[in-house]
Amino acid sequence: MSRYVRIAALALLLLALALGGYAWLLGRKPPPPAAGAPAAASAPAARQYAVVVAAKPLPAGEPIAQDAVRVVQLPLKPADALADTAAAVARVPVYDIAENTPLTESQLVSGLALRLEPGERAVAVKADEVMGVGNRVRPGDFVDVFFVLKSDGKDVDRSQARLLLPRMRVLAFGSASVDGAPAAAGNGQRGNAGRPEPARTAVLAVPVDQVNRLALGDASARLLLALRRPDDEAVPDADLFAPLPTALQPLPVRAPAPPRPPLAGIDRAQAGLATADLAAGGSARAPQPHAAPTPRLAPQVRGVAAGPSGHEVEVFRGAQRETLHY
């Protein structure tokens, strides 16, 4: 093979290698975007959060209905925002909430109010170590409330101790509460020396018509909490005792209206209770029907025969009899 043929073959080989390398480089480059096609996003899509918002204006103090809230996707999630409509339905707004406003826990009623049953009220009474079973009472316990009345010569004729309210549910004792984490031993906050401070109040769930009893007992007597087992549901038989009279008497029923049922619930709470009635009990001071006033009799004059010294007249005033001479 001549020298020129070898040189030409080598040149062709080098050219082939160069073209192959160029083709490999072209294969690694992305294809150019098609005409009219949108350019690929240069950054990843922003994160979205599920947030419950008001589907319509929500008035303060009214429970939220199922159709009043909905879930939307937002790029930002407010602090303590709700993510599920089930967490908002039947809750009560603290203030008016406008449409499309994200719902948060701080906008809705919370705390002990949600731990009450219908017809119950949360009532705080003074507490100490003795009253609170040596600070062994815990939120969620059931207790019997006893009271000790001392004779004062006025409303209380004699000293006595009685069961005031049976099986009351404890909502809070000291700083420990059923709607939060339990406090440290002693149920109180830590003082300056690091020691737990004793509890000063106990919060009980009380039927509204029994709040008067607890209020009078706390103001006029010494209260004691007796801890009971949670499955012990024994309560006194109300039929064995006369009901306590109320401080206010209801209006009389006018005929032909049917008889009015006994006061109960918030109506009995409105009627109130007197300390003397709480101390004496219903049997000693049971309400009596109002008797019709006794009509005053006009003096009756009866003439009688005149005596030797003049005339006599007998005057009758009710059951009294008097003879006048003239």
Q: How many domains does the chain have?
A: 3
- Can you name the residues that pair with 117 across neighbouring β-strands? none
- CATH number of the domain within which 75 lies: 3.90.1210.10
Instruction: Tell me, yes or no, whether 175 lies in a domain.
Output: yes
> What domain range includes position 79?
49-109
pLDDT, tens digit only, all 326 positions of the chain: 577 777 777 777 777 777 777 777 777 766 666 655 555 455 567 889 999 999 999 999 999 999 999 999 999 888 889 999 999 999 999 999 999 999 999 999 988 888 999 999 999 999 999 999 999 999 999 999 999 999 888 888 889 999 999 999 999 999 899 987 554 444 545 555 555 678 899 999 999 999 999 999 999 999 999 999 999 999 999 889 988 999 998 998 888 889 889 899 999 999 999 999 999 887 544 444 444 444 444 444 444 444 445 567 676 666 666 776 66
Instruction: Tell me, yes or no, whether 12 lies in a domain.
Output: no
What's the CA gap between 230 and 169, in Å, rounded? 9
Which of 81, 109, 137 is a domain's end point? 109
What's the CA gap between 64 and 59, in Å, rounded? 9
Instruction: Tell me, yes or no, whether 219 lies in a domain.
Output: yes
Indicate if 320 and 215 belong to the same structural domain: no
What's the CA gap between 284 and 160, in Å, rounded? 15
Instruction: Tell me, yes or no, whether 276 lies in a domain.
Output: no
102 contacts 81 by C-beta, under 8 angstroms: yes
Residue type, 77: K
Instruction: Tell me, yes or no, whether 150 lies in a domain.
Output: yes
What's the CA gap between 279 and 156, in Å, rounded? 6
Indicate if 86 and 172 belong to the same structural domain: no
Indicate if 151 and 174 belong to the same structural domain: yes
Instruction: Tell me, yes or no, whether 178 lies in a domain.
Output: yes
What's the CA gap between 69 and 57, in Å, rounded? 10
pTM, two decimals, is 0.65
Indicate if 99 and 134 belong to the same structural domain: no
Instruction: Tell me, yes or no, whether 167 lies in a domain.
Output: yes
Which of 109, 133, 150 is a domain's end point? 109
Indicate if 183 and 120 belong to the same structural domain: yes
Indicate if 147 and 211 belong to the same structural domain: yes
How is residue 119 written in tokens? 């017809």
Which of 192, 216, 240 is a domain's end point? 240
